[in-house]
Amino acid sequence: MPPPTDAVTVVYTDGSCLGNPGPGGWAWAVAGGPSDAGAEPGTTNQRMELTAVLRALETLPGPLRVVSDSTYVVNCFRQRWWEGWRRRGWRNTQGRPVANRDLWEPLLGLVLDDGRSVSFDWVKGHSGDPMNDLVDRLATEAAARIQTGRSGLGLGRPLP
């Protein structure tokens, strides 16, 4: 039986970069449900962290609880950094352009403007949380595959 439409889906996300910048991977996964991963040849860890969340929100319907080991992502929403960025014309507190604006803007649109509930929780990376460990492995594997030129990234594959 499918969950009720108002049930909150918990999705874990992670990004990885082999060198920073360098080949990078991103992943998201729902326990016992779908997952996805992808990679880019020349990127940064922060871009991959953002991409993982963006891809999860683009794919998964309904209310979401995003669990990430990225303070960059989680603090933006929990501490509402985005409000200052918008108020200052997409400038940070030092007056410089906000990094990764091309990813932040669509992500903010999905979190703030589409009428669904999205919350963010932080989990310590490499601390033994099984789902965080899983998305870390998927993101790292995606980055390694693109680094070696191998394909085989799955799309929306169910978890074992």
Residues serving a catalytic function are 14-15, 49, 69, 126, 136
59 phi and psi, to 5 degrees? -95, -45
**For the chain (length 160 residues), average pLDDT per consecutive 10?**
72 95 96 96 96 97 96 96 96 96 96 88 93 97 82 45
Indicate the SS3 state at residue 67: strand
In terms of residues, how long is the chain? 160
**Is residue 2 one of the residues assigned to a domain?**
no
* Overall domain count for the chain: 1
Q: Which domain holds residue 62?
A: 9-148
- Torsion angles phi and psi, residue 99, rounded to 5: -65, 145
What pLDDT, on the 0 to 100 scale, is given for residue 149? 66
pTM of the model: 0.89
CATH number at residue 31: 3.30.420.10
- Residue that is written with structure tokens 């319907």 in the block: 61
Confidence at residue 22, expressed as pLDDT on a 0 to 100 scale? 94
